[in-house]
A and B are shown apart, each in its own frame.
Chain A
């Protein structure tokens, strides 16, 4: 994906817009974009509930685009109207509000690009809705918090109930584009532009038109027919059902409004309010076109207000439920890492009360022989409103994790985000397990599994701690979708994608080595240097830790063997008191063995693994830096191209060939635009990286502190246990007579 952006020609509107989106995401933080992605799991469950045939894989595959499509529109639009500009400063400080602005602007912007169709469609859709619901709702319209909801709900349900095909954007979008001629210009562009880029891009862009264009028709068609059903489902008093259903709609919304609305859902039992809100949403939606800028400011405060209160109550209730005891295989200290996360995350998300905690448990071998794989139970506990439950679990296999990482990298790396690296694939370890018998008590393979489990857990929590990443549709699908994910084929080292990736990587490395960028930004210069130093030092430290772990393990085993030997000696010893004392000695050393062993695990999981994670994270940071260099290269390239074109134009002018001048003029203009765009892009990624790094530094310092404190505590506990051991032994030694 990243590569696709290197060649200048690819620099199209869509590209730009895409970046804009991402940037917006970044700023508006968790609340905003995530919502959209929920669609998938939601829909899935719904469909399942409805007994639709959709439960089968195909829908799963076809749906993912949907959510991402959900993402698109607002972002897209926001980028289209940079004049709204707000995306930068205001939202930065207050994510919630930022979300608000975002939403508003989206709605507001909707019209400009798609003047004739979308608004009209929107209104068309909404009118019936209002009719249905607004009896109770209308009064509160002004509050407006979750306005967008209903119509999206409609969209949502429409695909399920009426026409499954909707979900496959490819089919739908073309016709719709033709329908909504003007409006889809952008989307059409996107469509046309996207093919050259990678498949993922394709997906994204494809969904865009779908959302933009397909929805309206769907609504048009089904609005009236579907809606009652939907509404009824909302109104059903049965809380669970309604919550579920209510949650479902929210997901489909692209906007914070939805997120806001989702909070109540989480609280459960507020269906009436909910539905009313939904209705409000519709109303609001239809209104927005009329006065785009105003709502932004108007709506924000109310949005913020209702948002926070619901969140607060959730935390206390949620926390007691937390039995972070999901790691049966490991008495190891991995959970602390997860526990530490929420606080770190607070720093990040700036929305104090949110937490998400993911634990991986029950590694299970599925299948036999080389085709077998390990599956893990992924349990999530959260109070973040856009998740439909507070506590649930799904089953994922290892390659799913890698797939998730791949997707996240594809989507977010280019916008300067540091993406926590997934655990490495280990062909040897895996093969061993695959070939091993089911009940292999082989310690090395159980060690391997436990290590992998722990690192997956750390990986998930690191990703979840990032407000943007955790709200990514793919991430949410990953943790929420209660079904098998489509197989991530690209993760296998032997697949064609693997080979391709290898080539790419080689290319990148060459590029990294050959291209030296004149750093104009002192911050980056220093940071790059610091990162390099840090990398080297961490590696050194990691080696020292590995040494420690190895020695401590050795100590543990040698202590155990001494214990055994001392037991033999005690049985041989003829002097009874001495024999007893030796026996005690054997027991004491046996216990110290256990202590050393636990301590070695602590050495490993607290120190060594965390440090290793950071070495990999530093790698991710380097990737991001490199991404910036690539953007810089693109910019430089555009500049040289522009210079060339200008030259050509000057030549043409000198030669007096007016026809060519015109063409050259066009080209110059085109490249000027490109230069501008790439420069903007470069500035943006630089800015984004700075912000990311700030976060990274904070989290890293905190992580390190946590790590060391935890480790010292573990050491202290060990020593205290050793004290106990010898205290019990001492009288025995004294008793020798």
Chain B
């Protein structure tokens, strides 16, 4: 298996697709814009935060390089913030470092009241590789032309996945950079500025087990809290219910949308075989049918491309929007959990205070703790409310934008295809 993959990689040197120009590419993942827009919207509604303009901290990924299993992102920063040494600089980061950064935010108690931007998904080219492998195996059974077309399709697919991966990482950073609190985070600064490798190793076994344990702990706690802790605030109670339901629903939709786009892609791909099969038939049939069939075959070939675009656009505009909000929604859920935990702590503090008062012992300490917890909880609730509202605005804006684009693209492609078919039919009639 490994050997096979090795040779296959050598065979198709395109697997080392190297530089991806994110700006020119029309397949560019649009999430970043969306997020940016949403963030802008959210920000404008917030008066208490420091007044910022876009140029304070701008982060993008100017380059990405794929080497075997690893993808190296060149993170480019432009800033006016005084903390930074230079106004503009670039560093090379890998996926693991992004995850590290996310975990720092996630673990920071100070950020408990915020929705932590969801971490970018791991670069995953397995699907493409698998398909490539299959294609290589089936090489004998198809014509050269067919094979080349299939290969091209795969290349395009691979490239699209690659770009999407890059875009997701960029979105993560952009959201952090635009967040009034997160942008000032020290770890973030290090991530952006430190020129060396952050030497983030992947978690070792012990840590993994610990992590697993913690997450189990956490989820049982979450379930327990959800069951036992009565929320004092109806708003959050409602939000919690909504988010739970919403998360489940959108997760399901994402799954279904993925299946749909995949099937669409398969349909597009199957036009390849149809097209080549037809043109071969034309050759066999000879002059009586050849011209006719070739026209049809050409049409299928063109239709395939359109159909393929439909599939990839559906993927970009629909599936990816959904997918992003699965993760964002889950980040919001985490926020709610943290708040609930905080509430539980607060109530515990209340109880402790009551007990202390009853015993008349350590009352002051308990009072202090209770006060702290109260403040903490109230502060957190206020933050969370804000965050949840901005989550909603962000979501609605993103959906609006992407749904409109989806509809427009669908229309465009359907019209193109209808026209294509019409022209073909006309040409056939003239014959």
Q: Which residues of A contact B (CB under 8 A)?
A: 530, 533-534, 537-538, 540-541, 543-545, 547-548, 551-552, 554-555, 558-559, 561-562, 564-566, 568-569, 572-575, 577-578, 581-582, 585, 589, 697, 701, 704-705, 708-709, 712-713, 715-716, 719-720, 722-723, 726-727, 729-730, 733-734, 736
Residues of A within 8 A of B404 (CB): 730, 733-734
Q: Does B203 contact A (CB under 8 A)?
A: no
List which B247-291 residues lie within 8 A (CB) of chain A.
249-250, 252-253, 255-257, 259-260, 262-264, 266-267, 269-271, 273-274, 277-278, 280-281, 284-285, 288-289
Q: Report the stretch among B13-21, B36-44, B417-425 that lies at the interface.
A: B417-425
| Residues A712 and B421 in contact, CB atoms below 8 Å apart | yes
* A726 neighbours in B (Cβ, 8 Å): 407, 410-411, 414
Q: Are B418 and A572 in contact (CB under 8 A)?
A: no
State whether the Cβ of B293 lies closer than 8 Å to any Cβ in chain A.
yes
- Contacting chain A: which of B74-82, B223-231, B395-403? B395-403
Chain B residues contacting A538 (CB-CB under 8 Å) are: 281
Return the contact of B273 from the options A547, A704, A720 (Cβ within 8 A).
Answer: A547
What separation, in Å, do the CA atoms of A379 and B276 have in the docked complex?
A: 39
Interface of B is mostly: helix
Interface size, B (range): 35 or more
Q: Which 8 A-B pairs have the closest CB atoms?
A: A544-B273, A555-B263, A719-B418, A562-B256, A541-B277, A736-B400, A716-B421, A733-B403
Q: How far is the CB of A463 from chain B (nearest CB, A)?
A: 24
Name the residue of chain A whose CB is nearest to the CB of B405: A733
Is residue B236 within 8 Å, beta carbon to beta carbon, of the partner chain?
no
Is B270 within 8 A of A548, CB to CB?
yes
Q: Which of A719, A723, A730, A736 has the most CB of B within 10 A?
A: A719
Contact A561 B273 (CB under 8 A): no
Given the known inter-chain contacts A537-B280, A541-B277, A565-B249, please indicate yes or no for A704 contacting B407, CB distance below 8 A.
Answer: no
> From residue B241, how far is it (CB to closest CB) to chain A in Å?
10
Q: What are 23 A-B residue pairs whose CB atoms fall within 8 Å in the complex?
A: A534-B284, A541-B274, A541-B278, A543-B273, A544-B270, A545-B274, A555-B260, A555-B264, A558-B259, A559-B263, A565-B252, A585-B403, A697-B288, A705-B292, A705-B428, A712-B424, A713-B425, A719-B415, A720-B418, A726-B407, A726-B411, A727-B411, A729-B407
Partner of B403, one of A545, A558, A581, A722: A581
Q: Is the contact region of chain A dominated by helix, strand, or loop, or is it mixed?
A: helix
Q: How far is the CA of A736 from the CA of B262 in the complex (A)?
A: 28
Q: Are B284's CB and A537's CB within 8 A?
A: yes
Quote the shortest CB–CB distance from A733 to chain B (angstroms): 4
Contact A723 B414, beta carbon cutoff 8 Å: yes
Residues A562 and B284 in contact, CB atoms below 8 Å apart: no
Nearest CB to that of B325 among chain A residues? A569
Docked complex Cα distance between A722 and B417 (Å) = 11
Taking the nearest CB of chain A, how far is it from the CB of B385, in angstroms?
14
Within 8 Å by CB of B296, from A562, A708, A733, lies A708
Q: List the A residue with the shortest CB-CB distance to B404.
A: A733
Residues of B near A719 (CB, < 8 A) are 414-415, 417-418, 421
Task: Point out the residues of chain A lying under 8 angstroms from B246, CB to CB.
Answer: 569, 572-574
Contact between chains at B422 and A544 (CB < 8 Å): no
Contact check, A716 vs B422: say whether CB atoms are below 8 A apart: yes
B299 interface hit (Cβ, 8 Å): yes
Select from chain B the residue with minimum beta-carbon distance to A561. B256
Residues on B with beta carbons closer than 8 Å to the beta carbon of A723: 411, 414-415, 418
Flag if B252 contacts A540 (CB, 8 Å).
Answer: no
A558 touches B260 (CB 8 A): yes
Smallest CB gap from B250: residue in A: A569
State in angstroms the CA–CA spacing of A582 and B269 once bound together. Answer: 29
A712, B296: Cβ atoms closer than 8 Å: yes
Q: Give bound CA distance, A90 to B374, whole Å.
A: 111
A-side contacts of B399, CB under 8 Å: 578, 581-582, 736
Q: A578-B400, A715-B421 are in contact. Are A544 and B277 (CB under 8 A)?
A: yes
**Contact in complex: B249, A551 (CB < 8 Å):** no
Contact residues in B for A715 (Cβ distance below 8 Å) = 303, 417, 421
Q: Which residues of A contact B260 (CB under 8 A)?
A: 555, 558-559, 561-562, 589
Q: Are A566 and B253 in contact (CB under 8 A)?
A: yes
Q: Which of B246, B270, B274 has the most C-beta atoms of chain A within 10 angstroms of its own C-beta?
A: B270
Contact call A704/B411, Cβ cutoff below 8 A: no
Would you call B284 and A533 a contact (CB within 8 A)? yes
The smallest C-beta distance from A728 to any residue of chain B, in angstroms, reads 9
Query: Please, which residue of chain A has its CB at the minimum distance from the CB of B274?
Result: A544
